[in-house]
Structure 1
Amino acid sequence: MATSALTPTAETSEALVEFPDNFLLIDLCGEYDSNLTAIESALGVQILRKGNQLAVIGEEGARTDAVDVLKSLYQRLEAGKSLDHGDIDRELRMGNPGPENPPEAGDQKELFSGARVEIKTRKKLVEPRTDAQKRYVQSLFENELAFGIGPAGTGKTYLAVAVGVNMFIGGHVDRIILSRPAVEAGEKLGYLPGDMKDKVDPYMQPLYDALNDFLPAKQAAKLIEEKRIEIAPLAFMRGRTLSNAFVVLDEAQNATTMQMKMFLTRLGEGSRMVITGDRTQIDLPRGVASGLWDAERLLKSIPKISFNYFTSKDVVRHPLVAAIIEAYEADQP
């Protein structure tokens, strides 16, 4: 809880919110009231527990926001969903915008619960935590080719893989293909031991990490063995036509112009393709143009190709990551 107590004044007042289920209230507060502390810190209010009520003390706007967040999180618990730091962060960033028009039966937009966008996978329910992430996820369902461009930690690849797994288990695609250029990030690793898989797997590890978040390990391993999920370097895509697949190219800023053209022209019938990248982290040799820059310049006017942009405000890793990104952006000439 906040260390400095707020006393109701002319500027600040108290709002009482009642929660009927004491067990759910315990989950809402979190261990050692950690969830309440997060809300207090973010909104500048004080939250006190009084039996099965929470008293929120603060200025009117902040107090109203805090009450809305608490009610929304409690409704989440009532619906049988879990509550963790990410859910609190999402609620603080996005709030509860209320219901939208209900989707038509059988439409893929049934994945959208009212104004919320939810991505169901085998292991967890994934929800965007910023407005930009929400628009991005919606564009992945609505467009055959989508770009996600922005700094590290904004969920570009993570959400793309989540949507791919969702579409795969829903029968909308037959395969998932995850790829990235095998480019070293500013250091020479030398020759790596082992066979081809051993040599390229270190470059592909972030894709394995995302995939393992959404599928049980044994199921993921079986699907990879059956080639229904492929994780491979960009160079392995040459000469193929990728049909009925959900295809993700990660770290696309490290693809050359020719590699990007090669990859984009792999798109086949019934497939969806997602290109993610960060224009500030190009690891190509000096003088080699980034294919992501050229794709953005050449394809922006083509209908049904979506470009989605993220900023440091969309970083959902540790809060320090956003501060670090902003510091580097401010230092750019």
Structure 2
Amino acid sequence: MIKKIKLLNKDEIYAILGVQDRNLKALEKEFKITVTISYDDENGDAELSLNGLHSRVDKAYAKIQKNLDILRVPPAPNASAEEKVPFAGGVVFRPAHASPVKPRTQNQNEYIKLIWDRDLIICTGPAGTGKTFLAAACALRALQLGMTGKIVVTRPIVEAGEKLGFLPGDINEKVDPYLRPVYDAFQAMLGAERFNALRDAAVIEIVPLAYMRGRTLENAFIILDEAQNASPEQIKMFLTRMGLNSKIIVTGDITQIDLPSSKQSGLISVKKILGKVPQIGFFEFENADIVRHPLVKEIIQAYDKWEKKCK
């Protein structure tokens, strides 16, 4: 049996095929079918032909169509012109299943404005101030508006406790716990199904920082989380991945450095090195901006006092 499905543009082609056709190869392996693709260079679209047993082709077709349906979700029909621009009405991102994401402090408000204004932002501050969550919300809004083609989020993998080599599973399973907080943020705003579809289609990519070497990221919204655990060399390597029409947000908390005492945090040195570059935005949150459980603010303040006494 042969079944055909149309991919309407290069974004859909990239999303369904994946990097070096990895998604397509995985689909063929999963359903034991053969997939061929014919391109129309003039119109910029393509057509997939799924060939194999009837039941397997139907299941593969349904999986592709489901991912396309998620990718093709149109804007709300009654959305106002104001809602079609970034940060309209104080709303950063409007999830389909949850309350709108809005800044909850004046500093969060200023942070979001800086994200839209600059292509490179270095943001520091204590846990719970929304550094990464708001950056992710801005990334989703940019994707929704067609201002970017993909979202890339990366973290340095710093071992604290068990060694990676002793954890069970392959390399992806070993690093998954380190990236789980980023998954949680996107799932909170997208829902698990849509997040998984966008991740499978490589529209949202979440990878360890070590995997960034040698890449150039164009038309992308890129977030480096937990940057306090990256070395100066890693920060330099990451920042130079920036391609045309891309935006980079670097976030971290210099009070929670997990690097060995002999290693310097690149987040501390980056302002000294790049502080005089006018196109780069620097932002710092305070304890007053913590928006988690009220106890979090009390805990951080108590630890700050204790650490000052110990010095």
Q: Is 1:188–2:176 an aligned residue pair?
A: no
The alpha-carbon distance between structure 1 residues 106 and 154, as it changes in their structure 2 partners (threshold 3 A), is closer
Gaps of 5+ in 2: 1-80
Structure 1 residue aligned with 2:6 = none
The alpha-carbon distance between structure 1 residues 280 and 160, as it changes in their structure 2 partners (threshold 3 A), is same
Structure 1 residue aligned with 2:266 = 291
Output the CA distance in 1 between the equivalents of 2:264 and 2:142: 33
Structure 1 residue aligned with 2:27 = none
Of structures 1 and 2, the one with the larger relative CO (CA 8 A, separation 6+) is 2
Output the CA distance in 2 between the equivalents of 1:106 and 1:222: 25
CA deviation map 1:247-280 (0-9, x unaligned): 1100000001110000000011111110000000
CA shift at 1:194, angstroms? 1.3
Alignment of 1:162-173 (within 5 A): 162-173=137-148
**Aligned counterpart for 1:112 among listed residues 76, 88, 91:** 88
Q: Secondary structure at the match of 1:119?
A: coil
CA deviation map 1:4-30 (0-9, x unaligned): xxxxxxxxxxxxxxxxxxxxxxxxxxx
Output the CA distance in 2 between the equivalents of 1:106 and 1:303: 30
Q: Is 1:178–2:153 an aligned residue pair?
A: yes
Alignment of 1:68-83 (within 5 A): none
Contact 1:242 1:266 in 2 (8 A): yes
Output the CA distance in 1 between the equivalents of 2:91 and 2:146: 19
**Aligned counterpart for 2:133 among listed residues 135, 146, 158:** 158
CA shift at 1:165, angstroms? 0.8
Structure 2 residue aligned with 1:265 = 240
Structure 2 residue aligned with 1:274 = 249
**What is the root-mean-square deviation in Å for CA atoms of aligned residues?**
1.8
Output the CA distance in 1 between the equivalents of 2:112 and 2:300: 23
TM-score (structure 1 length as normaliser): 0.65
CA deviation map 1:283-325 (0-9, x unaligned): 0112101010111211111112111111111110111110111
**Aligned counterpart for 1:132 among listed residues 107, 118, 130:** 107
Output the CA distance in 1 between the equivalents of 2:219 and 2:118: 14
Output the CA distance in 1 between the equivalents of 2:290 and 2:191: 26
Alignment of 1:212-291 (within 5 A): 212-291=187-266
CA deviation map 1:64-95 (0-9, x unaligned): xxxxxxxxxxxxxxxxxxxxxxxxxxxxxxxx
Contact 1:123 1:213 in 2 (8 A): no
Letter in 2 for 1:193: P
Contact 2:85 2:145 in 1 (8 A): no
Structure 1 residue aligned with 2:50 = none
Q: How many residue pairs were aligned? A: 226
The alpha-carbon distance between structure 1 residues 138 and 238, as it changes in their structure 2 partners (threshold 3 A), is same
Contact 1:108 1:141 in 2 (8 A): no
TM-score (structure 2 length as normaliser): 0.69
Q: Secondary structure at the match of 1:120?
A: coil
CA shift at 1:107, angstroms? 8.3
CA shift at 1:148, angstroms? 1.5
Runs (4+) off by over 6 Å: 104-107
Letter in 2 for 1:253: Q
**Aligned counterpart for 1:321 among listed residues 269, 273, 296:** 296
Contact 2:152 2:222 in 1 (8 A): yes
Contact 2:84 2:145 in 1 (8 A): no
CA shift at 1:189, angstroms? 4.3
CA shift at 1:106, angstroms? 9.6
Output the CA distance in 2 between the equivalents of 1:270 and 1:289: 31
* Identity percentage of aligned residues: 44
Output the CA distance in 2 between the equivalents of 1:289 and 1:299: 16
Output the CA distance in 2 between the equivalents of 1:122 and 1:239: 36
Letter in 2 for 1:187: G
The alpha-carbon distance between structure 1 residues 247 and 291, as it changes in their structure 2 partners (threshold 3 A), is same
Q: Secondary structure at the match of 2:260?
A: coil
Q: Secondary structure at the match of 1:275?
A: strand
CA shift at 1:105, angstroms? 7.3
Letter in 2 for 1:120: R
